[in-house]
Amino acid sequence: MARSFSSWSPKLDILVNNAGIHQNEAIWAMDEAQWDEVLDVNLKGTFNYSRAVAPVFRQQGAGKIINIASIHGLRGRQAGPNYSAAKAGVIGLTKSVARDLGPYGVNVNAVAPGITETDMVRALARELKDKFVAEIVLGRMGQPEDVAHLVTFLCSDQARHITGEVIKVDGG
């Protein structure tokens, strides 16, 4: 017998907030529209999705939220004050939401990648990429799977006692 949708009860277990954009300008060259666009996508988007799942996670007494921040949210970035501010905001949001939802059995963590070979990074000027790589102890860009493995771990039951943390994946 086919199951009807009326008897189907969906469950949400995991939210990974991974949207992000950047616009490279020094503070004196950046206009307010550039500032707003990056903060709207990178920070406000994370807030809106987290707020949307919070009632579901509270009610079911479980859930995992993983926010993709950036190493630049921890240390700043030349020609990227909007990106750094947004990702620093994601870190603060992560810590606050972890405190709000922790009593309901929900884990909330952030991953802070360093420069990682993604479409967004491929679009950067070669000299900027070279500058970023020169600062990495391992001497190379990260790969998307380096970040994905950590996200997978944080979504697992093995990470059940980790919340409110920011974990760097930056090659040192």
Give catalytic residue positions. Answer: 83
Distance CA 80, CA 35 (A): 10
**Secondary structure of 19-62 as H, E, C letters:** CCCCCCCCCCCCCHHHHHHHHHHHHHHHHHHHHHHHHHHHHHCC
Distance CA 13, CA 32 (A): 37
92: which residues sit within 8 A by CB, 6+ positions away?
none
Pairing of strands 63-68, 14-17: parallel
Q: Which residues of 123-138 are buried (b: 16+ CB within 10 A; e: fewer)?
A: eeeeebbeebeeebee
Distance CA 109, CA 127 (A): 32
